[in-house]
Amino acid sequence: MRTILLLLCLWNISICTRAQIEKHTRILEPSILVCQYDCVKKVDTLGTDTSEDRMILRIGKNASQFYAYSRFHNDSMCCDPKGKRMWGQMMVQAIRSRNYSSMPISRVISEYFYKNYPEGKITTLSSLGTTPCQIEEEYVPQDWKLADSTRTILGYSCQLAECHFRGRDYQAWFTPEIPLNEGPWKFNGLPGLIMEVYDTKHHYHFTLAGLQQSGTEPVCYYDFQSHYEKIGRIEYLKACRSNKGTNPEIRKRLNLDNPTPAKRNAQGQIIANDYLEKDYR
Amino acid sequence: MRPTGMTYKLLLVWSIATTCFSAMAQNNHTAMLKGTVSDQSNGKRLEAVNVLLYAGKGPKMIKFTTTGKEGTFSIQIPDSLIGKSYLQFSYMGYETLQRRTDGSNEWTVKLAAKEMEIREIIVKAPKVKAQGDTLIYDVRQFSKEGDRSIGDVLRRMPGIKTAENGQITYNGIPINRFYIENSDMLEGQYGLATHNLPNKEVGSVEILQNHQPVKALEGIAFSEQAAINLRLKEGAKHRWIGTLKLYAGIAPKEGLWNGQGAFMHFDKKHQNINTLKTNNTGQDTSHELNSFNRNTLRYRNRLLTEYIGITPPYSIGLDRERELMNHTYQMTTNHLFKPANEPDIKTSLTYQRHQEDAMKQTGYTYYESQEDGWNLYEQEESDYTKEQLSATVSTEINKPAYNLTEQFRIDMDWKSRDMNLNGGQANQQHLNSNGKKAVNDLFLLKRKGNNFFTVSSYIALNALPQRFNVQTKDAEVSQAINQKLLFTDNLCGWGFIAGRIVIDLNAGIAGMYKDMDSQLNNAGKDFDLSPTADMTLGHTKLSLTPKLSYTANDFQASLTLPAGYSNYRYETAGQKAAKHHYFSFSPSFYSSWRPGIRWEWFIQGGFSTQDINTRLFYPSDLLTTYRTIQRGLAEFCHTKVTTVNGGVKYNIPLKEYYSKLEVFQSWSAIPYTLVQNIKDGYIHSKYLPGERNIRQTSISGSISKGTDWAKTTGSLQAGWNKSSSYLLRNEKNIKNQLTSIHIEPEIDINPATWMNIRYTLTLDKEWMKVNETKKQESTCSLKQSLRIRIMPSERLNFSIKGEHYANQATGTDSHNFFLADMAFTYKLSKYVSLDGHIANLLNEKTYAYSSLSDEAMKINKWYNIRPRNILIGAYITF
DSSP annotation of B728 reads E
Is the per-residue pLDDT at B743 higher than 90?
A: yes
Task: Out of A51-55, B43-47, B467-471, B678-682, give the one with best mean pLDDT.
Answer: B467-471
HEC assignment per residue over B291-336: CCCHHHHHHHHHCCCCCCCCCCCCCCCCCHHHHCEEEEEEEEEEEE
pLDDT tens digits, one per residue of A6-31: 444 444 444 444 445 566 778 889 99
d(CA B77, CA B654): 51
Amino acid at A159: Q
What pLDDT sits at residue B134? 34
Q: How far is B705 from chain A (nearest CA, A)?
A: 8
Q: How confident is the model at residue B580 (pLDDT cuts 50, 70, 90)?
A: very high
Is the per-residue pLDDT at B561 higher than 70?
A: yes
What pLDDT sits at residue B371? 67
Is the per-residue pLDDT at B413 higher than 70?
A: yes
What pLDDT sits at residue A21? 55
Residues B191-211: what's their mean pLDDT? Answer: 83
Whether A81 and B136 lie within 8 Å, measured CB to CB: no
Q: How far is A259 from chain B (nearest CA, A)?
A: 7
Q: What is the ipTM of this complex?
A: 0.78
User: How far lies B245's CA from each of B17, B24, B113, B143, B828, in Å?
Assistant: 89, 86, 84, 19, 14
d(CA B106, CA B127): 53
Q: How confident is the model at residue B149 (pLDDT cuts 50, 70, 90)?
A: confident
d(CA B236, CA B200): 9
Q: How far is A130 from chain B (nearest CA, A)?
A: 8
What pLDDT sits at residue B873? 95
The DSSP-derived string for A165-207 is: ETTEEEEEEEETTS---B-STT-B-SSSEEEEEEETT-SEEEE
Whether A257 and B155 lie within 8 Å, measured CB to CB: no
Amino acid at B352: Q
Q: Is A16 on the interface with B (CB under 8 A)?
A: no
Whether A88 and B653 lie within 8 Å, measured CB to CB: no
B209 class by beta-carbon count within 10 Å (0-12 exposed, 13-18 middle, 19+ buried): buried
Residue B227 backbone dihedrals phi, psi, to 5 degrees: -125, 160
Sign of CA dihedral A176, A181, A187, A190: positive
What pLDDT sits at residue B11? 52
Q: How confident is the model at residue B22 (pLDDT cuts 50, 70, 90)?
A: very low
What pLDDT sits at residue B24? 43
Amino acid at B292: F
Whether A227 and B134 lie within 8 Å, measured CB to CB: no
Is the per-residue pLDDT at B593 higher than 60?
A: yes
- Chain A residues close to B708, C-beta within 8 Å: 242
What pLDDT sits at residue A16? 40
Whether B597 and A227 lie within 8 Å, measured CB to CB: yes
Q: Who wins on pLDDT, A188 or B710? A: A188
Lowest mean pLDDT among B195-209, B328-342, B788-802: B195-209
Q: Who wins on pLDDT, B171 or B554? A: B554
Q: How far is B555 from chain A (nearest CA, A)?
A: 10
Other CB atoms within a 10 A radius of the CB of residue B152 amount to 17
d(CA B468, CA B520): 9
d(CA A78, CA B449): 25
d(CA A130, CA A140): 30
Reading phi first (left if > 0) and then psi (alpha if -120 to 50, else beta), residue B805 is in beta
What pLDDT sits at residue B20? 41
Largest CA distance in chain B: 156
Reading phi first (left if > 0) and then psi (alpha if -120 to 50, else beta), residue A97 is in alpha
Interface test with B, best of A95, A152, A175, A271 (most B CBs within 10 A): A95
The DSSP-derived string for B55-86 is: ETTTTEEEEEEE--TTSEEEEEEEGGGTTTEE
What pLDDT sits at residue A81? 57
What pLDDT sits at residue B132? 30
Interior angle at CA B396, CA B186 and CA B410, nearest 5: 55
Residues A189-215: what's their mean pLDDT? Answer: 91
- Chain B residues close to A176, C-beta within 8 Å: 50, 52, 61, 88, 90
What pLDDT sits at residue B538? 95
What pLDDT sits at residue A102? 62
The DSSP-derived string for B427-452 is: EEEEEEEEEEEEEEEEEEEEEETTEE
d(CA B487, CA B489): 7
Q: How confident is the model at residue A97 (pLDDT cuts 50, 70, 90)?
A: low
Is the per-residue pLDDT at B641 higher than 50?
A: yes
What pLDDT sits at residue A8? 41
What pLDDT sits at residue B708? 72
Exposure of B63 in the CB half-sphere (CA atoms within 13 A): 15
Is the per-residue pLDDT at B139 higher than 90?
A: no
Q: How far is A228 from chain B (nearest CA, A)?
A: 6
Q: How confident is the model at residue A75 (pLDDT cuts 50, 70, 90)?
A: confident
Q: How far out from the chain centre does Cα B353 lie?
A: 29
Residues B601-625: what's their mean pLDDT? Answer: 91
* Strands A25-29 and B755-770, bridge-based pairing: unpaired
For chain A, positions 58-117, list CB contacts with chain B under 8 A. Answer: 69-70, 73, 81-82, 84-92, 94-96, 100-107
Largest CA distance in chain A: 55
The beta-carbon neighbor of A229 closest among B144, B159, B597 is B597
What pLDDT sits at residue A246? 59
d(CA B197, CA B331): 15
DSSP annotation of B812 reads S
Task: Out of B52-56, B162-166, B411-415, B549-553, give the one with best mean pLDDT.
Answer: B411-415
Sign of CA dihedral B850, B318, B737, B622: negative
Whether B596 and A211 lie within 8 Å, measured CB to CB: no
What pLDDT sits at residue A25? 77
Q: How far out from the chain centre does Cα B804 lie?
A: 28
d(CA B865, CA A38): 67
Cis peptide before B59 (omega within 30 of 0): yes
Interface test with A, best of B127, B129, B717 (most A CBs within 10 A): B129
pLDDT tens digits, one per residue of B467-515: 999 998 888 999 999 999 999 999 887 766 676 777 778 899 999 999 9
Whether B212 and A89 lie within 8 Å, measured CB to CB: yes
Q: From the DSSP assignment, how many helices (H) and strands (E) are in chain A?
A: 6, 14
Q: How confident is the model at residue B131 (pLDDT cuts 50, 70, 90)?
A: very low
pLDDT tens digits, one per residue of B260-314: 999 999 988 899 999 999 999 998 888 888 888 878 888 888 899 999 988 888 8
Lowest mean pLDDT among A216-220, B546-550, B650-654, B834-838: B650-654
Residues A211-220: what's their mean pLDDT? Answer: 85
Q: Mean pLDDT over all residues of chain B?
A: 85
What pLDDT sits at residue A82? 57
What pLDDT sits at residue B182? 83
Is the per-residue pLDDT at B21 higher than 50?
A: no
What pLDDT sits at residue A261? 45
Is the per-residue pLDDT at B676 higher than 50?
A: yes
Model confidence, pTM = 0.67
What pLDDT sits at residue B537? 94
What pLDDT sits at residue A104? 66
Q: By percentage, how much of chain B surpasses pLDDT 90?
A: 37
Rg (CA), chain A: 20
d(CA A182, CA A189): 7
What pLDDT sits at residue B117? 78
What pLDDT sits at residue B257? 95
Q: Is A233 on the interface with B (CB under 8 A)?
A: no
Whether A155 and B119 lie within 8 Å, measured CB to CB: yes
Residues B613-622: what's their mean pLDDT? Answer: 90
Residue A215 backbone dihedrals phi, psi, to 5 degrees: 65, 35
What pLDDT sits at residue A172? 95
What pLDDT sits at residue B363? 86
Q: Who wins on pLDDT, B437 or B774? A: B437
